[in-house]
Copies of this chain bind each other. A is one copy, B any other.
């Protein structure tokens, strides 16, 4: 009799768990469809498709949101609370319930009305920005950005109890990180970086003319694809297309795509953007397939995601060992251009450090300064210490202080990045530097486990590195949060030391410091 009741209870739980998963998969499918519409818009869509496409993506995203915050999902999560509590915390079902509950609460705390107003506003602001940037006219976007700031501050209010107003916004992208901890990490990092950059950039500028020859598009693309195939990017579950601003996107664990762009007079654009996006894609392709369609089937934070794009782009893709294997192959692709260029010349060219104004073109050493400038400006805006009208001035001043350069046009300055004009203010930038820090910490741990990794790399073999990353990071998806992944994979919390060791060794050697 009791057995019968227990069976019945179990099967009711199973039923509810299955119903929850079915609902989550439906939400996921709507979001995935919106992502495909976005991918298509960025790759193949004819211009005439624009107006309807914007409307269609909005429809899908809104429906996904409505379906996710449905009271039935709340009820199922409540009903399954005891079940979750009965399971070990790292059980897959328990993890799915935990992560879903977190997302559900987050989504429910933001009123649907507010989200609708916000996304309308963001769509308009983005459109204005696309005109303001080429015109170098901040006054065009200023009133919109002021409203964005108000929206961002209002957004934070839906999550009371924060320590700093930016915390909820940072938490969306990098769950678990707070303003205070991020600021502390960044302050320490800046203290180390600024003098290092000074030392390096006081030396004569490295010659990179070997990279600025004519390299036909098709050959550049073919080379990039050949590299990421060796990395382990699975082309039966992905593909690469051309776009204006490269990105990685996923429609399911069986379909993780990347995009790139090519400059025929700069070899680095297509190659390194391909390696970068492939890093993101390797992460998504490596997630446990049994998580397909659920909230677990995704990278766990902006920082961890970026750690993978930067690891494959920089720690692997700008290393001497990597090019020991691939440079002869690159020379075969471009014998006329590179046949007479030494590996060492090429290696120095792709690792040239230079104080510059554009974040996305920055080298490994200065990149984080660009990020930290934006992060601090975001905080000042949110705190009310900086008015939007004073932002261009503050931007320029920060560049002067950190990089010793001042933008001469606003499109090289405050109008440079899409983030504030295509979303909220706060939480958009810290992930880039967190990712750089993590990339070194992960790579150091992998090398500690397998000291042969660099030697293997110089023979074009990446399976051990890829395997380590898959085992310690990729497979888990969102089962563990960023802090847990870092701790489990490396045995310690996030720290800037591995990153500093990495850049000191690499650039110390490159610049004889």
Contacts and interface: CB of A to CB of B under 8 A. Distances in A.
Interface stretch (A28-36, A79-87, A473-481): A28-36
Interface in A47-62: 47-53, 55-56, 59-60
A37 interface: yes
A181 interface: no
B46 A32 contact: no
A29 B59 CA distance: 7
A236 interface: yes
Interface stretch (A141-149, A216-224, A250-258, A388-396): A250-258
Copies per assembly: 2
Interface stretch (A237-245, A351-359, A459-467): A237-245
A48 B239 contact: no
- For the complex, would chain A's binding face be called helix, strand, loop or mixed by DSSP majority? helix
A47 B236 contact: yes
A99 interface: no
Interface residues of A, number: 40
Nearest to A43: B44
Given A32-B52, A37-B33, A255 B25 contact: no
A26 interface: yes
B52 A293 contact: yes
B254 A55 contact: no
Contacts of A234: 48
A30 B59 contact: yes
Interface in A81-115: none
19 contacts: A29-B52, A29-B60, A30-B63, A32-B52, A33-B33, A33-B56, A33-B59, A33-B60, A36-B36, A44-B239, A46-B235, A48-B234, A48-B255, A49-B254, A51-B252, A52-B252, A52-B293, A53-B252, A56-B251
